[in-house]
């Protein structure tokens, strides 16, 4: 008899899952690219959206979570959760020791190294896995998207459609303005 585990006997803790944390204000196609790459390696990716009252966000936590849920609505292997507190505690609560992060360029390295080593200090069992996004997104971050959009530039192809729609809504409500930024 084979000693392989039958699918119906696979219990959730045996699922290969990883956490993908970030601020996602808003999510970009660079983030989406990393999630899709993560899905090649893991059965489940838990996108952990930081609720950070210290950092000013354009979008509320609820909106940041909702946009990601909408993007992956047909992908049950992607779960989206808001979190606060330590990332290592969130990972443990969600029964994984693996954290995925994207690494775009050398300029990301110092911050990421510090974060990885701090997380390892907090929990030696946590492993952080770095993935390179497609070269098309290596210049992209949420800040650049907000700046370009607020100055009237196109972000087509850089963010999912729902994000463009939400940026337009923000613009209409006056939270983002086109033209010159205030002096």
Q: Which is nearer to ligand PNS, 104 or 170 (CB)?
A: 104
Of 9, 40, 54, 55, the active-site residue reads: 55
31 catalytic? Reply is yes
Contacting ligand PNS within 123-182 (CB under 6 A): none
Question: Which residue's beta carbon is nearest to the bound ligand PNS?
Answer: 22
Q: What would the two tokens of residue 88 be? A: 């290592």
- Residue 21 contacts ligand PNS per CB under 6 A: yes
Q: Which is nearer to ligand PNS, 70 or 108 (CB)?
A: 108
CA distance 94 to 38: 16
| CA dihedral angle for residue 52, residue 53, residue 58, residue 61, rounded to 10 degrees | 60
Contacting ligand PNS within 26-55 (CB under 6 A): 50
- Residue 118 contacts ligand PNS per CB under 6 A: yes
CB contact at 8 A, 18 and 45: yes
Of 31, 44, 146, 170, the active-site residue reads: 31
Strand partners, 81: 48
CA distance 41 to 121: 25
């Amino acid at each position: 008899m084979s000693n392989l585990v039958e699918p119906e006997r696979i219990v959730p803790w045996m699922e290969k899952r990883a956490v993908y944390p970030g601020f996602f204000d808003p999510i970009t196609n660079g983030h989406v690219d990393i999630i899709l790459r993560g899905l090649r390696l893991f059965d489940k990716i838990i996108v952990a959206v930081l609720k950070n009252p210290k950092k000013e966000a354009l979008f509320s936590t609820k909106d940041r979570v909702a946009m990601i849920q909408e993007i992956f609505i047909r992908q049950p292997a992607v779960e989206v959760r808001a979190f606060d507190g330590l990332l290592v505690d969130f990972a443990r609560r969600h029964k994984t020791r693996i954290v995925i992060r994207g690494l775009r360029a050398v300029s990301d390295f110092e911050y990421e190294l510090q974060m990885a080593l701090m997380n390892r200090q907090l929990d030696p069992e946590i492993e952080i896995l770095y993935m390179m996004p497609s070269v098309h997104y290596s210049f992209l971050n949420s800040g650049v998207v907000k700046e370009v959009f607020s100055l009237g530039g196109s972000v087509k192809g850089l963010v999912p459609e729902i994000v463009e729609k939400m940026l337009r809504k923000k613009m209409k409500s006056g939270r983002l303005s086109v033209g010159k930024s205030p002096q």
